[in-house]
Amino acid sequence: MVYENQKFSLNGPLYLTTIDWGNDNHKRAVVASLVQGVYTLEHDRRHDRQGDNALAPPWWQFFNFRLVRTLIDSKDASIFGAVFEFIKYPHGQTAGMPQYVIAFRGTLLKPETWEEDVKLNFKLFLNGLEESNRFQKGLEAASQTTDYKSVWLAGHSQGSSLALAVGREMVKRFRACLETYLFNPPFISLPIDQIKSEKVKLGHRITSSLLTAGLTATAVAVAADAVRADPFAPLSAWVPHLFINRADPLCSKYAGHFEHREYMEAIGAGEIAESSIGSILSSREALHLLPCAHLTFNVTAAPRFEDAHGIRREWLTFKEAHGIDQWWRRGLEVECKHYQHT
């Protein structure tokens, strides 16, 4: 079966005939398209679409990229990522352009892929993503170049968690701050941003921060000098781009998380950071604990409809709020907020 969203000619950003690499909207649309290319690569593999029948190539060829290699899961043989190389224009201008983009797809609940994808989601919940073969292969791909400034990371949903984990490790291991694009990155926590009362949400976050600090101190025997050290220091030069839809419960908490951390720092309690169940259980630093980030929110108005009582409401399905395709739509309205650890 051919799905419409896999066909670039029907669903891709055909309006981007000329790319301005200094334009954030253009960069977002191109990188999101490359991530869609990974999804379509896996669909092509499953349906044995090859040659002229393959649907994936237009998703990168349209933007002058070529496929360098695919990243294959060693357990189910699925394609979970790909490395793309930018073919530079004849005039040779490279400012703002990547040389390579390493992109990761999200969960595919298909017969051949669902089991390993679901297992990886459990690893993500338990903060054990670094133990997966997908993380190791992604890190290997990212570390094979000698010019880290030319390498970008990108991912959607589960794939954004992989990109985030690889990016963090590249900073810690090589002090390399790769430009990173995370579309609908999962935030593993209770969905308190769905609570309407701001006072209730703030109270929950403060209580949660204090409780987490106590649990972590109990669960993990940390030396006093390690407690006093700034855990964000090694990552403070890295500013990943997070693309959030507040109607998506998987990523919406990032907004409240950074707002809360900003508030805690303002009252002198910045050392009490939010954590996750997984980070407490595994004694690892949770992926979402980022010192700096550039958040982009999709604020395009949701479609309106009339309910049974004739009241006009706005509504987005989970598929629409979580989908990768929203990020290359023409006319997308966004709001941006930059967070810097102080």
Tell me, what's the pLDDT at 88? 76
pLDDT of residue 77: 93
Q: What is the pLDDT of residue 189?
A: 65
Mean pLDDT value across the chain: 82
Q: What is the pLDDT of residue 251?
A: 93
pLDDT value, residue 303: 66
Domains and CATH numbers, the chain: 4-339 (3.40.50)
For 190, list phi and psi in degrees, rounded to 5. Answer: -70, 140
Going from the C-alpha of 46 to that of each of 6, 161, 168, the distances in angstroms are: 13, 24, 32
- CA 13, CA 29: separation in Å to the nearest integer? 7
Report d(CA 283, CA 219) in Å as an integer: 8
Tell me the sheet residues that pair with 243: 183, 296
pTM attached to this predicted model: 0.83
Residue with tokens 């799905």: 3
For residues 209 and 195, what is the distance between their CA atoms, to the nearest angstrom?
A: 17
Question: Which of 100, 94, 88, 89 lies closest to 34 in space, CA to CA?
Answer: 100
- Output the pLDDT for position 309: 55
Torsion sign, CA atoms 293, 141, 184, 116: negative
* Residue 81 token pair: 């990522």
Q: What is the pLDDT of residues 72-102, one digit of tens each?
A: 999 999 999 999 999 976 566 667 899 999 9
Q: What integer pLDDT is reported at residue 337 of this predicted model? A: 95
Q: What is the pLDDT of residue 143?
A: 94
Tens of pLDDT, residue by residue over 328-342, are: 999 999 999 999 876
Report pLDDT for 314: 55
Residues of the chain predicted below pLDDT 70: 1-2, 89-94, 189-232, 265-266, 268-285, 303-315, 342
